[in-house]
Amino acid sequence: MWTDRIVLGTALAALVTPAVANYANAPFQDRPFEVADLALRVLDGEAVVPPTGDASLAAAVAAMLLVSELGVAEAYEEIFEAEDEDESDEAEEGDPYSKAYAQLQVVRTWIAALPQDADLADLVARLDALMPTAEQPAVMDADPEAAEVVAQALVGQLERVANADLYLGRDLSRAMETVSQLAAHGCAHDEAARPRWFQISALYFEDALEAPLSVMAAEEAERIEEGFDALLDDDMAACDAVGAAFVDARARLFP
């Protein structure tokens, strides 16, 4: 599932964004913890107000709310996956359509905090058309990836209006450095703070690095993934293992 989704996202990103980004801001590299922490707080239901006068930060949070593994596009796809599950599973996890619809309403407030143009409005309207009402429509677009297509194009437009690079995985070397440093910071923090750092590190790894590394450095990718699982279980012995796996992956990809 994640492989198909991220590979699709990478291909779409190539279509809607320049091959070499030339934006003034790079929030996912310059302040990755702040971006992800804000996005996770929003997803946890906090009434987080989008920042004024900081378009790149607002755009980065909106991008995470749209196309990350926890975003609207994934939530939309889960509507169709739920149709193959039994009613007890759906009752336990909640109505997937309501979840996706609610996430879309939240992300719209972050997009509204950015400079507006006709292209941005059109793309938001296309997402609205996929989930037009709070109650699930009797007829929906039959393509589970329909929201992904629009959301990726929308992130490309957010890049332009915010003058910000919103694809951490666009620069693989820098993405690896960013995620490995986040993990290292987590290992250096006290017991109360470190779980959030590990949560964010693992999320970025899943979103930006797991797919390409699983192809180009499969052994190292598996070690990193296992290391993050251990860190999330508060096994601090995995700190050295994750750091070493990133070093080995970099040596393999950038000898």
Per residue in 123-148, pLDDT (tens digit) is 999 999 999 999 999 999 989 999 99
- 206/229 Cα distance (integer angstroms): 12
Q: What is the pLDDT of residue 82?
A: 79
- For residue 3, which amino acid is it? T
Q: What is the pLDDT of residue 19?
A: 43
Backbone φ and ψ for 25, nearest 5 degrees, come out as -125, 145
- 120/244 Cα distance (integer angstroms): 42
Can you give the residue ranges of every domain in the chain? 2-168, 171-253
- 123/119 Cα distance (integer angstroms): 6
Q: Which long-range contacts (CB under 8 A, 24 or more apart) does 241-248 make?
A: 242/180, 242/183, 243/180, 243/183, 243/184, 243/187, 245/220, 246/176, 246/179, 246/180, 246/183, 246/220, 248/217, 248/220, 248/223
Assess whether pLDDT exceeds 70 at residue 199. Answer: yes
> pLDDT-derived band of residue 201, with 50, 70 and 90 as boundaries?
very high
- 74/98 Cα distance (integer angstroms): 13
Q: What is the pLDDT of residue 94?
A: 78
pTM over 0.85: yes
Rg of the chain, C-alpha, whole Å: 18
Q: Which long-range contacts (CB under 8 A, 24 or more apart) does 169-173 make?
A: 169/10, 169/207, 169/208, 169/209, 169/212, 170/13, 170/17, 170/21, 171/21, 171/29, 172/209, 172/212, 172/253, 173/250, 173/253, 173/254
Three-state DSSP class for 140? coil
Assess whether pLDDT exceeds 90 at residue 222. Answer: yes
Q: What is the pLDDT of residue 18?
A: 42
